[in-house]
Structure 1
């Protein structure tokens, strides 16, 4: 034990590895590893001999020290190592300064009974809390390391005054939070007036905590991403309901057009053609529905089909082609209706102004319903009753597409009629129950 204490003092004097080991106050019945003992006690010669005038007092052998060494499976190797190191200590000298040499020599001559006081002082400085360890050893406040490499370069260990360090670190944290309280407690528990840190560790800590405190800023990219997520969910719902559950087939280009139209409408005119391509949509839906759908190729057109369909025959392909054409026509009509500008009604409404409503019917919509209802029968299409039906349907389509935000002449007249009927019902006198 005396030898271990001398080695420990030399390690502390030269600031070597294992200089913070705490030795027990007294011997107790316990074993140790011979490899650990050898690693701790072996020192190079120049750590012992720096002044030839002062000699380190020789150590009594293990057998004559009066203290029974713990027994291990390799007692012979330990005894031989002890003898070698004792002989080495006899031939070397103390460190340079005379005062330091006298201090170490005086400590070496103290009996074993006076050792616990020194060991207790050393043990009192080594505690489990990290901040106390940082007060005794120059370690980084954040990573608890002395050496650190950043971008293949050694990061220097910087110092800062405790008060300045506390203000700088806590300024990026929100008060009265768990992170704030933990950081404050760790800083205040440091005994030294200086705090050691790596600049890269401090910057990483600052960026990490700043992201937790500050609310994220919503940019156009965030809005566009949310719209993409919403539209993709709608496409997935269409595939799951119609392709998987009902066994229908769709052109991949059909689904892609649906995606682009929905995105354009939700983003108020933004175009995602260059970002969200047909190939990208194919990869996403194939990854999501790998075991439920398949993508076939027919006449150089990709078809999204349910499992179980091996080929696309001519009739099915013609049906899909017509479906694609109808979708294109519906998209054109919808774009035409959404492009209608509302004409605000004045405060004074003459009868002629009510007949016009807040908008006029585009000719494209009237022609579409004329062709749908009358076909190529010119005589029927020129009938007044037929034209009245076409006008009524066109105005209903405009009203429904704009969710009632644009009112045509038909819907204004219907609203006024309902108001008049309600007023008349309130003005009708009730029959008296008095017969006499």
Structure 2
């Protein structure tokens, strides 16, 4: 380690100690930011100790990374990760700085969630063993641009390491672009017959064939642009799957039961979209030599994931915190709510900070109208952009709603809901603000699984 890297590491670790042990504040971004200021390439030195796996994509990065961390810990004694979704350069640097790899003869593993726009620089420094691609949907147009622009940002990182394995969601046709020479492992759904012929809904992004940009057809669609696709203008089709969800057994808001390659698994989180994340984690585990029995045990542990269907008891209310940030993800959350057979209330919180995306136009492509088909008894809105969300919900047919511009009132608002079960659907920074209010009120602790 160079003198500059040593100094950067010392300063980063010292600031982390002060934050966590003196000021009792969480976070790894500031230590990482300070270390990068001293040595912009400090991660290169830190990463030499690890087998590095990078997880990226629009939706599902945090849950995929958290589940994969559980899975890998069944086999590896030393696995580090960035559990709170701090997925940009400074946060990842902070994670690497504060890790203490064990000297037990086994090479430690770093499995890290990475923001799509940061992939090139993070990959250059960490020299990954594998890249994991979850999906690409329209998201934060102000930061990423359209989906093909987003994918190109990811490709810039992958192209630096043609020997690294690409573990990709084969149900997403955009990942078939790029002519990558890398070894590939594919996962997807194989729950229906391959005999149908349908097109995706007219406003679906990412349904163009990578060979000639014709509109793809599907044997079946899971949601959005994902499914078993094929071209009618040439022989392009979804590649053969290495690992597949073969059956959906039971989907509820609280758990999902499904088969992968004929064996049954369960995760304590609802929504079909989260089964994709479990399948990605399963694939990572198998790639790294984890057995099916070990994966099953990891999946069935009950540790919660930071801000992802996090369950909190607020007096007599059962609160579920769900993250929303783009149309596809929000629509899948609504579909998850539709599987709830009990009455519930919804509090929707919209912020538009940099981490959320300052463009809020996505709320108009979200099918809030579908909430009328659920057991929802009440809906209210809040957050820094509550006016935008209030209008959208009103236009969806729900009339005037209570509004909570000041998120310090949210805990009281939760207690005032007419149902025992309350969903709080929040953008990223609104979710952080909500958790801080719940923490101050004594309903949650600071940490989540890491």
* Normalised-by-shorter TM-score class: under 0.3
Higher relative contact order (CA 8 A, sep 6+): 2
TM-score, with normalisation over the residues of structure 2?
A: 0.17
- Considering fraction of residues, name the structure with more strand: 2
Q: Which has the larger radius of gyration?
A: 1
User: When the two structures are superposed, what TM-score results if normalisation uses the length of structure 1?
Assistant: 0.18
